[in-house]
């Protein structure tokens, strides 16, 4: 993985809200969710490390087409969990 830097030479990264065993959890309380930089970076990490990224969202949350495409590309490495 190539490390990218911002304008002020700070490494860009993203952290999940929680990690347990081989799962990363990202909790979002939104009505619509897109494939943001944070989600794409965590999905890439999940695929590379053999982990699973769990997106915890409300039942009424709608996934944007960009996020649906990302989930299809990543296979079982990205999953949705409703609360």
pLDDT in tens, 12-23: 788 999 999 999
Does residue 1 sit within a domain?
no
Does residue 59 sit within a domain?
yes
Does residue 7 sit within a domain?
no
Domain count, the chain: 1
**Helices 37-49 and 65-74 sit at what angle, rounded to 10 degrees?**
10
Average pLDDT for 57-81 = 97
Does residue 12 sit within a domain?
no
What tokens appear for 36 in the block?
Answer: 């943001």
Distance between CA atoms of residues 18 and 20, nearest Å: 7
Beta bridge partners of 24: 19, 53
pLDDT in tens, 46-66: 999 999 999 999 999 999 999
Q: pLDDT value at position 12?
A: 72
Q: pTM for the complete prediction?
A: 0.84
Cβ atoms of residues 38 and 13 within 8 Å: no
What tokens appear for 44 in the block?
Answer: 């890439």
Write down the number of H helices and E strands in the chain: 2, 6
């Amino acid at each position: 993985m190539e490390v990218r830097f911002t304008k002020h030479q700070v490494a860009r990264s993203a952290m999940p809200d929680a990690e347990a065993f081989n799962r990363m959890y990202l909790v979002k309380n939104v009505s619509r969710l897109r494939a943001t930089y944070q989600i794409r970076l965590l999905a890439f990490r999940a695929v590379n490390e053999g982990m699973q990224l769990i997106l915890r969202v409300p039942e009424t949350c709608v996934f944007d087409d960009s996020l649906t495409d990302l989930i299809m590309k990543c296979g079982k490495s990205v999953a949705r969990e409703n609360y």
